[in-house]
Amino acid sequence: MSGNTFGHLFRVTTFGESHGPGLGVIIDGVPAGLRLDPEQIQHDLDRRRPGQSKVSTMRKEADEVEILSGVMDGVTTGTALAMLIRNTDQRSRDYGNLATCFRPGHADYGYFKKYGIRDYRGGGRSSGRETAMRVAAGSVAKQLLAHYGVTIQAYTLRLGGVDAAKVDLAAVESNIVRSADPDAAEAMIAAIRAAQAEMDSVGGIIECRADGVPAGLGEPVFDKLDALIAHAVLSIGGIKGIEFGSGFAAADLRGSVNNDPITPDGFTSNHAGGIIGGISNGNTILFRAAMKPTSSIAKEQKTIDEAGSAVTISVHGRHDPCLVPRAVPVVEAMTALVLIDALLQNRCARL
Ligand X SMILES: C=C(O[C@@H]1CC(C(=O)O)=C[C@@H](OP(=O)(O)O)[C@H]1O)C(=O)O
Ligand Y SMILES: Cc1cc2nc3c(=O)[nH]c(=O)nc-3n(C[C@H](O)[C@H](O)[C@H](O)COP(=O)(O)O)c2cc1C
Per CB under 6 A, residues contacting ligand Y are 57, 106-107, 126-128, 131, 236-238, 294-296, 319-320, 323, 326-327, 330
What is the number of the residue whose Cβ is closest to ligand X?
122
As annotated, the binding site for FMN includes: 125-127, 277, 292-296, 318
Binding of residue 108 to ligand X (CB under 6 A): no
Containing H/E element for 43?
helix 38-48
337 interacts with, out of ligand Y, ligand X, none, CB within 5 to 8 A per kind:
none
Which span sits near ligand X by CB under 6 A: 128-136, 151-159, 196-204, 336-344?
128-136
Containing H/E element for 11?
strand 11-16
Binding of residue 122 to ligand X (CB under 6 A): yes
Measured in whole angstroms, the distance separating CA 99 from the mean position of its chain's CA atoms is 28
Nearest approach in angstroms of CB 283 to ligand Y is 28
Number of DSSP helices (H) and strands (E) in the chain, helices first: 7, 18
Q: Which of 218, 43, 14, 286 is nearest to 143 (CA)?
A: 43
Q: From CA 23, how far away is CA 5, in angstroms rounded?
A: 14
Binding of residue 296 to ligand X (CB under 6 A): yes
Interface mask toward ligand X for 51-80; x: CB under 6 A: ------x-x-x-------------------
Q: In this complex, which beta carbon is closest to ligand X, that of residue 208 or of residue 315? A: 315
Q: Give phi and psi for 295, each to the nearest 5.
A: -75, -35
Q: In this complex, which beta carbon is closest to ligand X, that of residue 94 or of residue 341? A: 94
Which span sits near ligand X by CB under 6 A: 242-250, 265-273, 283-291, 317-325?
317-325
35 interacts with, out of ligand X, ligand Y, none, CB within 5 to 8 A per kind:
none
317 interacts with, out of ligand X, ligand Y, none, CB within 5 to 8 A per kind:
ligand X
Cα distances from 71 to residues 5, 37, 143, 187, 219, in angstroms, run 21, 11, 14, 44, 31
**What three-state secondary structure class fits 229?**
helix
Interface mask toward ligand X for 243-282; x: CB under 6 A: ----------------------------------------
Q: From CA 347, how far away is CA 216, in angstroms rounded?
A: 10
Burial (Cβ within 10 Å: 0-12, 13-18, ≥19) of residue 200: middle
271 interacts with, out of ligand Y, ligand X, none, CB within 5 to 8 A per kind:
none
94 interacts with, out of ligand Y, ligand X, none, CB within 5 to 8 A per kind:
ligand X
Interface mask toward ligand X for 2-41; x: CB under 6 A: ----------------x-----------------------
As annotated, the binding site includes: 48, 54, 125-127, 277, 292-296, 318
Q: Give phi and psi for 315, each to the nearest 5.
A: -90, 115
Q: In this complex, which beta carbon is closest to ligand X, that of residue 91 or of residue 166? A: 91
Binding of residue 283 to ligand X (CB under 6 A): no
> Do 125 and 111 contact (CB within 8 A), yes or no?
no
Query: Which strands sit side by side in the sheet containing 5-6, from one edge to the other?
Result: 5-6, 11-16, 22-28, 81-86, 66-69
The b-or-e profile of 136-167 (16+ CB within 10 A means b, else e) is bbbbbbbbbbbeeebebbbbbbbbbebbbeee
Q: Enumerate binding residues for ligand X (CB under 6 A).
A: 18, 50, 57, 59, 61, 91, 94, 122-123, 127-129, 132, 296, 317-319
